[in-house]
Structure 1
Amino acid sequence: MNTDLKSKILAQGMNPDTVDQQIQYFKTGFPFLKITAPATPGNGIKVLTETELAHFTQNYSEKASKIDVVKFVPASGAASRMFKDLFTFLEGDGDLSKSAFVQKFISNLPKFAFYTDLDNSLKSKGSSIQTCLEAGHYQKLIQELLSEEGLGYGNLPKGLLRFHAYPGENRTPAHEHLVEGLQYGIGKDNTVRIHFTVSPEHESKFKEEVTKIIPELKSASGVEFEVTYSLQKKSTDTIAVTMENEPFEEEDGSLLFRPAGHGALLENLNDIKADLIFIKNIDNVVPDRLKAPTKSYKMAIAGLLLEVQEKVFDAIRGLDSGIDKDSVGIAIQVYNDALGGKIPTQISSGSLEEVGSFLKEKLNRPIRVCGMVKNTGEPGGGPFWIEEKDGSLSLQILETAQIDLNDPNSKLHFQASTHFNPVDLVCGTKDYQGNSFDLMKFRDMQTGFITEKSKSGRDLKALELPGLWNGAMAGWNTLFVEVPLITFNPVKTVNDLLRDEHQG
């Protein structure tokens, strides 16, 4: 790295060694992961019986009040992609017949929870939704919804949009997450603890929204709330390069650094000190009438984690006391049966000491239980068995980009996959002595992503860090549990709010 480039990197507050490694990733690319099989029911995905569901739910209910529970909600992204079709319509000639998407949006306006806010905003300017519709002023109406001069939905984060209509109130996803927290997130001190990752420009609006909601929820439930926030750290941004893998320079000569995807939030997660951490995306919420399955399965996967974690801790303590036939035998049973791990032949045929050391290293890791839903064609990562460098097999959530679809075996495994990841996780990030793991040590940096973007009319390549629930958790112990499809209701476009799952 030349001196000029190094000084520019330092001037922008970044680490030259880290940036140099990022540039090397652009040049070499990332290796595909070696899939040995898709995780399916009976082979990596646990399908709970009614008895098990009740057992694990009860286990969590009995323990939740004694532990620190935090709900971690990534909420920093802007909602602009939700309104892509509406923005396109604004740039056109206002002919409604040219867009079936906008036709559907306009004809169903009264069904949106933001209808009253939009109407009031127009009325404050001497208009209304009705007068706009009668005059065919569809662009004016949409402009009022999206622009800063109106409701500003085009630049707000999803967490602050009105998603669900109720008698007397219209809730945002931030509001729904607080309500949901009351259902399964009450931990020690009778407190619901929720952590939102937000962008700097939206932090004050998030705090304003949450501050308005909490007093009523607290009064109705008798439960305390502790809501915290963090920003995606600037230090996690990655350098952008030209199509020739040279650092991309702005017009003023500065280097372009870009946010590195949700994998950058690993540092935020690493700062959370709790016994149990739920992770769920901001837009995956439903009205109260549909919350029961979410509550049931969230409690069940948490109860499963706590039960398995207890077995793991006991096994490690046994190995600590002495590696002998009994302690190793128990550790093997926990690794194989409770975690679904598979010990490589070269290890299992070794000495008792070698097997014990291998097991202690494998067991003493963060643990996560991930809900998986049946694949209905939604885009997203899927659950697979992966062969590790040491020959052991582990469960991982992979994105399509990490799979070599030109390899016949990998393609067959990919096509045989039955489930995908709805971002429904519960995590145990403390070790058997009660110390928090350094989560950065369990990330596989060889699992990043390279994408093509553009800036100021010039093509560029961008680097995303290993995804938060992908390579960022590659070294964790992982369990997959099938959860009902009704627990997964993301909102990718504004018209998704018209689906029955988002209607009151």
Structure 2
Amino acid sequence: MLTEKNKEQIKNHGLTEEKIQSQLKIFRDGIPFADVVEAASAGNGIAIFSEKQQQEFVTLFESKKDELDLLKFTPASGAATRMFQFLHRFLEQFKYKKDNIEEFLQKEENGDLRKFFSALEKFPFSDLVMENLHNKYPDFHQFEKGKQFHFFVNEMIGEFGLNLNNTPKGLVPFHKYGENYVTAFGEQLHEAAFYATSNGIANLHFTVSEEHEEKFRNRYAEIQETVERKTGVKFKISYSFQKKETDTIAATLDNEAFLDENDNLVFRPSGHGALLENLNDVDADIIFIKNIDNVVSEKHVETIAFHKKVLAGKLLSLQQKIFGLVEKLHSEKVSEEIIKEAETFISEKLFIKNTPIYKEAILKILERPIRVCGVVENTGAPGGGPFLIKDKQGNLSYQIVEMSQIDTNDPQQKALAEKATHFNPVDLVCGVRNYKGEKYDLLQFSDPSAGFISNKSYNGKPIKALELPGLWNGAMANWNTIFVEVPLITFNPVKTVNDLLNEVHQTQ
């Protein structure tokens, strides 16, 4: 039973008692796994375009873009802490006063450290770290190697040094050109100039942690003149935060509301699916979605931009056909030929298997947001991919499915998951307006049952946590979805600091 104090908490958090009770019901009932029918593959749910087709889509986009509102939407709220996990362990485990660094690095579990220390000069922030160290310790170059390595890492990630550990990932230096350090944020701006620009203006929206907004604004003030001069583009940047009212309640292992030592309810951020609210608050003809850490050095940007334009051109091509059909279907007299044409389009171009035969049902499918998703060949990276799934009503559609949504204890479902040939790199181009140019309410096209329950702890006590349907899976479950194969060079996330050693992040 909720106390009056708890009810006041709920209200102050922007939530309702009904919403809290529905979340507790999800904890009790559990979340059903996705019913995977097959993995999407080339020619079977995943389109592969010839060079000629790619160029046609690029030309279409280029011819239309100055008539369109374009926006680049970038989730950027994460701190960089995970990038440096193995370096934290190094600081905890290596005692430079007594341990031998060569012996320590030869341990089998320290492969990441060996790679890191063997390539120190290739990291974009190395000169900054070394400059700080030489200012603090004039005799630094005389230190033993183990002590040098320990001090280097501490200066790099520690709070009294560069403090990269507590820096937003988007503001960590990813690349260096001459004397200039460029962050992931800076590269996202530079990249946007090549494909998310209309009439010389690039609009970008970043979802950030509230405490980091000022840091992003300050960084933009530092680089604005340089990036505008370099690209010839003006930038309009907006920011938003994950809303408090998207938080979910923590539950006990018995699926009751968890109370802390002061009998207060505990609320938790509900994962990136909460950003559906932020996405719903922005508006444009075409919205490009890409994670903050998926960038490349400047020499590869035109390649990335070309494939973004392919996806955007494909979206425009689909919209032209859909809008034409919808307009005809809304006319007073609808011929059998139009119905048949719409059925064929839904089946052959939207890859929806069980095509409806009635006008109202056809319109229900055509009148919804559309996204064209770039997918890359599976390299074994963790994460979701494109699958054909069956919903509770028996409808079949292609969706991005996270591995956590698949029941791997079921041998048949596990086997289907293992057949996945492609991976979701979060490379989306979205159309969120209808044929009249009116924006859809994106909240109406989510599948609330596609969330995720995980086991966490709070002050040492076990709790259950509820994540909302992910932004690019459950939150977009009822969008029209097209998968297109894009080359691996379009997927270059920096999950650990060593990823900065990959060729696409090297600038020399």
Q: Give the structure-2-normalised TM-score.
A: 0.94
Write the deviation string for residues 225-260 of structure 1: whole angstroms up to 9, x where unpaired. Answer: 111111111111111122222322233332211111
Write the deviation string for residues 92-151 of structure 1: whole angstroms up to 9, x where unpaired. Answer: 243441533223322321110011221232234245864556472433221211122211
User: How many Å separate the matches in 2 of 1:25 and 1:128?
Assistant: 61
Q: Tell me which moved more, 271-280 or 29-38.
A: 29-38
User: How many Å separate the matches in 2 of 1:433 and 1:175?
Assistant: 35
1:111 paired with 2:122, answer: yes
* SS of structure 1 residue aligned to 2:288: strand
Deviation at 1:28, TM superposition (A): 1.3
Write the deviation string for residues 273-323 of structure 1: whole angstroms up to 9, x where unpaired. Answer: 100000000111110122232111100000000010110010010100133
User: How many Å separate the matches in 1 of 2:12 and 2:395?
Assistant: 44
For 1:469, the equivalent position in structure 2 comes to 472
Read off the aligned partner of 1:175 and give its amino acid letter. Answer: G
Candidates 451, 454, 469, aligned match of 2:454: 451
Write the deviation string for residues 65-85 of structure 1: whole angstroms up to 9, x where unpaired. Answer: 110000000000111011111
For 2:39, the equivalent position in structure 1 comes to 38
User: How many Å separate the matches in 2 of 1:149 and 1:425?
Assistant: 39
For 2:319, the equivalent position in structure 1 comes to 309
For 2:265, the equivalent position in structure 1 comes to 255
Give yes or no for contact 1:293–1:484 (8 Å, CA) kept in 2: no
* SS of structure 1 residue aligned to 2:435: coil
* SS of structure 2 residue aligned to 1:243: coil
Q: CA RMSD in A?
A: 1.8
Write the deviation string for residues 400-421 of structure 1: whole angstroms up to 9, x where unpaired. Answer: 1111223343223212210010
Give yes or no for contact 1:120–1:128 (8 Å, CA) kept in 2: no
1:223 paired with 2:233, answer: yes
Q: What are the residue-to-residue correspondences of 1:119-134 with 2, within 5 Å?
A: 119-127=130-138, 130=141, 134=145
Give yes or no for contact 2:81–2:166 (8 Å, CA) kept in 1: yes
Read off the aligned partner of 1:15 and give its amino acid letter. Answer: T
Give yes or no for contact 2:58–2:310 (8 Å, CA) kept in 1: yes
> Aligned in 2, Cα 1:20/1:320: closer, same or farther, shift over 3 Å?
same
Give yes or no for contact 1:118–1:151 (8 Å, CA) kept in 2: yes
Q: Give the structure-1-normalised TM-score.
A: 0.94
Deviation at 1:52, TM superposition (A): 0.6
User: How many Å separate the matches in 1 of 2:226 and 2:275?
Assistant: 31
Deviation at 1:474, TM superposition (A): 0.1
Give yes or no for contact 1:180–1:291 (8 Å, CA) kept in 2: yes
User: How many Å separate the matches in 2 of 1:430 and 1:130?
Assistant: 61
Candidates 425, 429, 434, aligned match of 1:431: 434
1:49 paired with 2:50, answer: yes
Read off the aligned partner of 2:271 and give its amino acid letter. Answer: G
> Aligned in 2, Cα 1:242/1:127: closer, same or farther, shift over 3 Å?
farther
Candidates 100, 111, 120, aligned match of 1:100: 111
Q: What are the residue-to-residue correspondences of 1:262-341 with 2, within 5 Å?
A: 262-321=272-331, 322-341=333-352
Give yes or no for contact 1:46–1:480 (8 Å, CA) kept in 2: yes
User: How many Å separate the matches in 1 of 2:468 and 2:487?
Assistant: 30
Write the deviation string for residues 325-382 of structure 1: whole angstroms up to 9, x where unpaired. Answer: 12212211321222122235xx44xxxxxx1111000000000000000001000101
Candidates 247, 252, 259, aligned match of 1:242: 252
Instruction: Mark the runs of 5 or more structure 1 residues left unpaired by the alignment.
Output: 349-354
Give yes or no for contact 1:132–1:140 (8 Å, CA) kept in 2: no
User: How many Å separate the matches in 2 of 1:338 and 1:211?
Assistant: 45
Q: What are the residue-to-residue correspondences of 1:61-76 with 2, within 5 Å?
A: 61-76=62-77
How many residues align structurally?
495
1:145 paired with 2:143, answer: no
> Aligned in 2, Cα 1:77/1:111: closer, same or farther, shift over 3 Å?
same
Q: Tell me which moved more, 222-231 or 429-438.
A: 222-231
User: How many Å separate the matches in 1 of 2:262 and 2:138?
Assistant: 44
1:190 paired with 2:200, answer: yes
For 1:29, the equivalent position in structure 2 comes to 30
> Aligned in 2, Cα 1:306/1:91: closer, same or farther, shift over 3 Å?
same
Q: What are the residue-to-residue correspondences of 1:288-437 with 2, within 5 Å?
A: 288-321=298-331, 322-344=333-355, 347-348=356-357, 355-437=358-440
1:205 paired with 2:215, answer: yes
For 2:79, the equivalent position in structure 1 comes to 78
User: How many Å separate the matches in 2 of 1:333 and 1:66?
Assistant: 30
Give yes or no for contact 2:20–2:249 (8 Å, CA) kept in 1: yes
Instruction: Mark the runs of 5 or more structure 2 residues left unpaired by the alignment.
Output: none
User: How many Å separate the matches in 1 of 2:142 and 2:392?
Assistant: 66
Deviation at 1:7, TM superposition (A): 3.7
Give yes or no for contact 1:132–1:138 (8 Å, CA) kept in 2: no
Read off the aligned partner of 2:348 and give its amino acid letter. Answer: D
For 2:506, the equivalent position in structure 1 comes to 503
Deviation at 1:157, TM superposition (A): 1.3
User: How many Å separate the matches in 2 of 1:379 and 1:78?
Assistant: 20
User: How many Å separate the matches in 1 of 2:392 and 2:292?
Assistant: 35
User: How many Å separate the matches in 1 of 2:234 and 2:294?
Assistant: 23
1:168 paired with 2:171, answer: no
* SS of structure 1 residue aligned to 2:112: helix
User: How many Å separate the matches in 2 of 1:128 and 1:30?
Assistant: 59
User: How many Å separate the matches in 1 of 2:374 and 2:414?
Assistant: 24
> Aligned in 2, Cα 1:67/1:154: closer, same or farther, shift over 3 Å?
same
For 1:480, the equivalent position in structure 2 comes to 483
> Aligned in 2, Cα 1:416/1:79: closer, same or farther, shift over 3 Å?
same
User: How many Å separate the matches in 1 of 2:464 and 2:142?
Assistant: 46
* SS of structure 2 residue aligned to 1:372: strand
